[in-house]
C-alpha cells in the first residue's frame, strides 16, 4: 500500500510587534538627543545596539522563518543600520582610540545615509502593499534620511537637522502604535487597533503599467 507524503508545517509567531517596538524605542531616545531634550550620545548607544539592532534583527530572523521577504529585508536592513550608527558613535566618542577619531570624516556617514535613503525609498513603494501604519512609518523614515543626508553634508543644516529630529520622533510614535496593534490584534484574534489594510497607494499607480506585478 502506497503511503502519501505528509507535509508538516511549522508555525512561527509574527515578530513584527517586537521589531516595531525596537524601532519605536531607539527612535524615541535618539530623537530626544536631536531635539535637544537630552545631551550626549553615551546613553543612546545601548538602545541603538539592543533595541535598534538586536530587537530588529530578531524580528528579521523571525520573518525569514515565515518566508516574509519584505519583513526580513526591512527589519534586517534597519537592524544593521543601527549597529553601524552605534559603532560610528563609539568611534566619534573615542572608544576605539584617538587615532580613529582624528581620521573620521563625517561625510562618509552622509553617504551611508544617502544609501539608506535609496533603500527606504524602494521599501516605501513596497509598503503600499502592506498597511497604512507601515506606509506612514516608511514615509517618515524617508524624511529622516533626507534630513540626515543633507545636514551631514552641511546643506541647510539647521532646518534639515530639525526635519530629521521631528521625523524620527514621529517614527517612534507610529511604531509604538504599530507594535501595540500587532500584539492586540494577534493575541485577541480580532481587530482592536486598526492599521488600515486597504492600500494607501497602489504600486501600479506609482510605476509604469506592467512594470510592477502586484495586485491592486
pLDDT of residue 19: 98
Query: What's the distance, CA 98 to chain centroid?
Result: 31
CB neighbourhood size of 117 (10 A): 19
Closest CA to 141 of 123, 153, 155, 159: 123
- C-alpha closest to that of 32 among 165, 148, 141: 165
Residue 77: DSSP 8-state = H
Q: What is the pLDDT of residue 197?
A: 77
Largest CA distance in the chain: 77
State if pTM tops 0.75. Answer: yes
Calpha distance 209→216 (Å, rounded): 12
48: which 3 cell numbers? Answer: 541603538
Q: Which segments in the chain show pLDDT lower than 70?
A: 1-10, 198-216
C-alpha–C-alpha distance, residues 93 and 39, integer Å:
13
DSSP secondary structure letter of residue 55: I
Q: Residue 128 has which C-alpha cell?
A: 503600499
Predicted pLDDT at 71: 96
Distances (CA, A) of 143 to 41, 132, 216: 22, 17, 26
pLDDT at residue number 199: 54
Amino acid at each position: 500500500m502506497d503511503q502519501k507524503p505528509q507535509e508538516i508545517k511549522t508555525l512561527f509567531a509574527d515578530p513584527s510587534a517586537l521589531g516595531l517596538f525596537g524601532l519605536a524605542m531607539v527612535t524615541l531616545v535618539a530623537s530626544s538627543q536631536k531635539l535637544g531634550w537630552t545631551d550626549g550620545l553615551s546613553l543612546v548607544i545601548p538602545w541603538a545596539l539592543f533595541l535598534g539592532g538586536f530587537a530588529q534583527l530578531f524580528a528579521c530572523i523571525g520573518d525569514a522563518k515565515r518566508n516574509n521577504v519584505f519583513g526580513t529585508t526591512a527589519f534586517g536592513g534597519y537592524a544593521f543600520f543601527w549597529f553601524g550608527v552605534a559603532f560610528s558613535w563609539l568611534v566619534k566618542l573615542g572608544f576605539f582610540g584617538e587615532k580613529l577619531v582624528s581620521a573620521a570624516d563625517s561625510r562618509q556617514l552622509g553617504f551611508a545615509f544617502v544609501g539608506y535613503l535609496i533603500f527606504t525609498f524602494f521599501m516605501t513603494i513596497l509598503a503600499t502593499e502592506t498597511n497604512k501604519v507601515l506606509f506612514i512609518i516608511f514615509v517618515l523614515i524617508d524624511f529622516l534620511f533626507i534630513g540626515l543626508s543633507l545636514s551631514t553634508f552641511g546643506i541647510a543644516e539647521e532646518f534639515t537637522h530639525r526635519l530629521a529630529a521631528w521625523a524620527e520622533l514621529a517614527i517612534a510614535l507610529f511604531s509604538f502604535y504599530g507594535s501595540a496593534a500587532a500584539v492586540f490584534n494577534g493575541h485577541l484574534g480580532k481587530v482592536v487597533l486598526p492599521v488600515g489594510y486597504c492600500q494607501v497607494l497602489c504600486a501600479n499607480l506609482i510605476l509604469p503599467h506592467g512594470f510592477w506585478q502586484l495586485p491592486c
